Structure 1
Amino acid sequence: MSIAGLPEGQRDSTHPPPRMATLGEVCDINPRLPKDHGLQEHSEVAFVPMAAVDEVSATIAQRMARPFGEVRKGYTPFAEGDVLFAKITPCMENGKVAIARDLAGGRGFGSTEFHVLRAREPVLPEWIYFFLRQQRFRNAAKRSLTGTAGQQRVPTAHMAAAAIPVPELARQRRLVDLLACADSMVRLRRRGRELTELMVPALLDDMFGDPQSNPKAWPLVKLGEMLEGIDSGKSPRCHDRPKTEGEWGVLRLSALKNALYDESDHKTLPESERPDPRNEVRTGDLLISRKNTLELVGTPAYVWETRGRILLPDLIFRLRLRPDAGVHPLYLWALLRAPAMRRGLQLLASGTAASMPNISKERLRTLRVMVPAAHLQEAFAQRIAALHAIALQQDAALAHAKKTFAALLARAFEA
């Protein structure tokens, strides 16, 4: 169905077709700071580096301010209501775009890697903002990139020439309200999922206490004493695409993110490489990254399910617990993601400033782990499994909300 409640492909005859224009006709692109800006050297202005714009929420997530004198040169000026669009790869493809709102002093300065779009009278800033959030706009912008690899940018000329439908202002407002509601639904679904994940460390602390202080005096055992072994795979040169049916995939290091397992984050093993079934990821596996940035090294993940034909890389370990270890894998997964244990894992990592920290199998085995009573671990695991069931429902709802927003976005800007 369309945003007007009509079947796909059928236009709503109650509204006249929108006139077509270019962004350059309805926006000032990268406007200069006016000479009569009225700012003094000490005047406080908003400061927005590229990292302050969140590509997931498409908002300015970090609010900062600087004296005008510090940012007047070497930064891009913008004003209240302007739209910021990342022009450099990969920030552009990732969706870094935001509306400048609630700026200190009504003025802001940011990264030179932003295009700034200032809407003129026929269009709302929000209309421009949602237009730029379309995947098809970013796809077209990607085809226009110029420059060397890693430093490619969307030219100003491409932005100015992009065709945009411009309905009457009243219809823009209605569509913007609709899109904002759908966008809010996505954010609420995402926030609900985040809160569910926060329940895991909260339950761990409530049932067993802080691993650093061990207030309940649980026995401490070296991790190596609980393990049958630590497996690691191989990382051959792979095709940089998802595998198809019948092919094998090799996990990327980023498949372990936020202590969760994302099987879709893999590369495809070439036909010339024979897969080693001993390295295949299995349901119930407990994985941990052995090499990454200092912040991320030692990230654990539990494999709730797998579709098969996915192999371990050499940068991810699989911890194989002994049957008589007295440790539930879900408890150990939750424990390894606790802040105190994360700090302990980081201390086990070695490496120079020029290389990513690495945890060896020998050092990992020395990690001391508190081991509560088995029946309490089992009760904890049951609660974690219940949370996982809720998380699956939330994931499905979030995916549906994203699909709805994307469909509404596409229909709103049909010519």
Structure 2
Amino acid sequence: MFRDLPPYAQTTQNPFWSAPTPSHWSVQPGLAVLRENRHKNDGLIESQVLSLSYGRVVVKPVEKQRGLVPDSYEGYQILDPGDIVVRPTDLQNDQTSIRVGHVGDRGIITSAYIGLRPAGDWSDSYAYLYLSVVDSSKRIYRMGSGLRQQLGWEDLKRMPCLVPSAEEQAAIVKYLAHANARIDKAIAAKRRLIALLEEQEQANAESLVRGDTEQDQISTGFPWLSRVPASWELLRVKKVLVGIEQGWSPQCDAQPAGPDEWGVLKAGCSNHGRFRSEENKKLPDGHETRPELEVQHGDLLVSRANTRELVGSAAVALNPREKLIFSDKTFRLKVRADRADTEFLALVMGSRSSRDQIEAGAVGASHSMQNIGQGVITNLWIGLPPVVVQKAIVDELHRRSEEFEAVVGKTRREIALLREFRTRLVADVVTGQVDVRAIAATLPDAPESFDNTVSATDDDLEEALSEGEE
């Protein structure tokens, strides 16, 4: 399906695409195949709000309609299934977002977006594919005007548009539906592999920090930590601390700090037990600093405010960049080196028994923002082996983590390659670099559905990817 796709026999050089396109395809201006949507929500006749998210037009749930919402939705535009949405703003500063979406549900969306309705000789599915390739190939960024390079209907209506026959458009749409289904299936299988590996890594870590391999175990009487090895201590975290600090949260710029600029870490800098120095906001130029709060190598940081699943996340800052301050949504724990290894303590605080205690102590009006006080952390009950055993457990987990990261990293790179392959394939098919009419005629009308929890290999797809890497 993916290999040895033939080119068209007769082609003509196309200036817009800087490539040859089929000679029998016509080239028409956007005005001939598209209409600007002018259907406003006068009288509030529609209430279902749509949103363009990662290239998909989705229904926005009522509970998520907060923040910068309009006083009235009367100025929004009404879209119908088959329409196309283009986000036209800020082309100069944002060249990574997916700007084109295909509407599947009737609803309303901000009039700051351009609503389009296929017309003339374009089908809505081919129109969407064509515009998505204009976006993915970055040609959309050559079309805007103004200081912030904003796209408008005036730009789109002059855009050169390839127009195959209705039969060829249908063949292209059919072929790409099948191709996308097979690529989605391969990506789903690889994501499932990553999820299984993450579950396995978490289970291995849990087992080690609980001391499951120790034969002599004693009962604790606690529901969240039922037993510990007899040679380990059962104690509260405060017994291994010499202090706990809370950070500082001045008003910051939205962007991350540069290499020689001061930055304030976000609450999520310790999510899932991994320190992320890139999770920071720049301290404005000329603002006072708090050097005593600068994060140092080996600091144990704990999230004080986050979602219920992430509040209390603990991570050790290993070789952090300079000039990073932790915020008031983060605790810094000062650990007694003779009693506890900071990395081991972070691992224990991420274990299920600690998570149960932390989540039970979290408070907050909404699930999306829960808070914990210092007492929730200092009063955690944990099982603690001798320091030498703690360090040995950390070393073993580091060894296993290297193996895990190697496999997961390889799988993520394969997912990235599949996405790149999809982008290139769609562009080649939609712009007539390859002829899919013959293979489309052999395919069923609808692609086969698949269960994304089931792993599957696709030899044809793997071979096509291998050819692309050569």
Normalising by structure 1, we get a TM-score of 0.61
- Contact 1:31 1:118 (8 Å CA) reproduced: no
- Aligned partner of 1:386 among 393, 403, 425: 403
1:16-63 superposed Cα distances (whole Å, 9 cap, x missing partner): 58735438934795999xxxxxxxxxxxxxxx9869x9x46959799x
C-alpha deviation, 1:368, in angstroms: 1.7
Aligned equivalents of 2:88, 2:268: Cα separation in 1: 22
Residue 399 of structure 2 aligns with an amino acid whose one-letter code is Q
Give the equivalent residue in structure 2 for 1:44.
none
Aligned equivalents of 2:184, 2:251: Cα separation in 1: 39
- Equivalences for 1:325-340 in 2 at 5 Å? 325-327=339-341, 329=343, 331-338=344-351
Distance 1:116 1:389, change over 3 A: same
Residue 294 of structure 2 aligns with an amino acid whose one-letter code is E
Give the equivalent residue in structure 2 for 1:370.
383
State the Cα RMSD in Å: 5.5
Give the equivalent residue in structure 2 for 1:269.
283
C-alpha deviation, 1:155, in angstroms: 11
Give the equivalent residue in structure 1 for 2:125.
125
C-alpha deviation, 1:222, in angstroms: 1.2
Secondary structure, aligned partner of 1:298:
coil
Distance 1:14 1:223, change over 3 A: same
Residue 248 of structure 2 aligns with an amino acid whose one-letter code is K
Aligned equivalents of 1:57, 1:284: Cα separation in 2: 41
User: Is the counterpart of residue 236 in structure 1 residue 238 in structure 2?
Assistant: no
Secondary structure, aligned partner of 1:387:
helix
User: Is the counterpart of residue 214 in structure 1 residue 231 in structure 2?
Assistant: no
- Aligned partner of 2:27 among 19, 23, 37: 19
Residue 128 of structure 1 aligns with an amino acid whose one-letter code is Y
- Equivalences for 1:95-114 in 2 at 5 Å? none
Distance 1:381 1:406, change over 3 A: same
Aligned equivalents of 2:376, 2:22: Cα separation in 1: 68
Distance 1:261 1:238, change over 3 A: same
Distance 1:60 1:216, change over 3 A: farther
- Contact 2:88 2:152 (8 Å CA) reproduced: no
User: Is the counterpart of residue 346 in structure 1 residue 320 in structure 2?
Assistant: no
**Larger deviation, residues 375-384 vs 362-371:** 375-384
Give the equivalent residue in structure 1 for 2:263.
249
Give the equivalent residue in structure 2 for 1:72.
none
The count of corresponding residues between Structure 1 and Structure 2 is 364
Give the equivalent residue in structure 1 for 2:325.
311
- Contact 1:291 1:356 (8 Å CA) reproduced: yes
- Equivalences for 1:15-414 in 2 at 5 Å? 15-16=22-23, 19-22=27-30, 25-26=33-34, 55=53, 58=56, 82=82, 122-123=122-123, 125=125, 128=128, 131-132=131-132, 134=135, 163=159, 165-168=161-164, 169=168, 172-173=172-173, 192-207=193-208, 208=210, 213-218=224-229, 219-303=233-317, 306-327=320-341, 329=343, 331-338=344-351, 341-351=354-364, 356-371=369-384, 374=389, 377-378=393-394, 379-393=396-410
- Contact 1:131 1:137 (8 Å CA) reproduced: no
**Larger deviation, residues 200-209 vs 183-192:** 183-192
Distance 1:239 1:100, change over 3 A: closer
1:145-164 superposed Cα distances (whole Å, 9 cap, x missing partner): xxxxxxxxx99969985947
Aligned equivalents of 2:351, 2:49: Cα separation in 1: 31
- Contact 1:25 1:160 (8 Å CA) reproduced: no
- Contact 1:118 1:125 (8 Å CA) reproduced: no
Aligned equivalents of 1:77, 1:343: Cα separation in 2: 46
C-alpha deviation, 1:365, in angstroms: 0.7
Aligned equivalents of 1:206, 1:59: Cα separation in 2: 43
Residue 362 of structure 2 aligns with an amino acid whose one-letter code is A
Aligned equivalents of 2:80, 2:100: Cα separation in 1: 14
Residue 201 of structure 2 aligns with an amino acid whose one-letter code is V
Residue 19 of structure 1 aligns with an amino acid whose one-letter code is V
Structure with greater Cα Rg:
2
- Contact 2:50 2:108 (8 Å CA) reproduced: yes
Give the equivalent residue in structure 1 for 2:64.
none
C-alpha deviation, 1:235, in angstroms: 2.0
1:331-386 superposed Cα distances (whole Å, 9 cap, x missing partner): 44444344553342233234556994332223321122233673673434532343
Give percent identity, aligned residues only. Answer: 19
Secondary structure, aligned partner of 1:217:
strand
Secondary structure, aligned partner of 2:327:
coil
- Contact 2:144 2:152 (8 Å CA) reproduced: no
Distance 1:164 1:395, change over 3 A: farther
Distance 1:58 1:354, change over 3 A: closer
Distance 1:260 1:247, change over 3 A: same
Larger RCO, structures 1/2 (Cα 8 Å, 6+ apart): 2
1:208-253 superposed Cα distances (whole Å, 9 cap, x missing partner): 37x9543543553212222233333322222322323322222222
Secondary structure, aligned partner of 1:272:
coil
Aligned equivalents of 1:23, 1:324: Cα separation in 2: 75
Residue 12 of structure 1 aligns with an amino acid whose one-letter code is A
- Contact 1:83 1:97 (8 Å CA) reproduced: no
Residue 198 of structure 1 aligns with an amino acid whose one-letter code is E
Secondary structure, aligned partner of 2:301:
strand
In structure 1, stretches of 5+ residues that fail to align are 33-47, 63-74, 102-107, 145-153
1:67-112 superposed Cα distances (whole Å, 9 cap, x missing partner): xxxxxxxx97855xx46759799xx9975976678xxxxxx56676
Residue 401 of structure 2 aligns with an amino acid whose one-letter code is I
